[in-house]
Amino acid sequence: MKKNKAIVCRCEDITEEDVINAIDEGYVDLEELRKKLRIGMGPCQGRVCIQLVTKILEGETGKKVPKKSQPTSRPPIVPVSLGTLASDGK
């Protein structure tokens, strides 16, 4: 796959080239890539980047990434309204 500067993870500012370089270094598992590059750990919880990284990983390694290895979203234990988050505490 051709290396380029396309952004894969906007939350962590990770490019496709960063992902491919990590795979070339030996990080050939989705969980390893997440730990190395912090993919899926930003505010969006990997809603977009996990699918992109999975596709890149499969293309580079030629192996299918099992669905069970994909992370799950972790919402807050107690829902918080946007008004509470935006308030200045008064």
Residue 16 has pLDDT above 90, yes or no: yes
Counted domains in the chain: 1
Between 58 and 76, the more confident residue is 58
**CATH classification of the domain holding 43:** 1.10.10.1100
pTM over 0.75: no
* Domain presence at residue 2: no
* Domain presence at residue 24: yes
* Domain presence at residue 42: yes
Q: What is the pLDDT of residues 42-71, one digit of tens each?
A: 888 888 899 999 999 999 999 998 877 666
DSSP 69: G
The domain of 12 spans 7-86
Helices (H), the chain: 16-24, 30-37, 49-61, 82-86
Of residues 40, 56, 42, 64, the one with CA closest to residue 6: 56
pLDDT of residue 87: 76
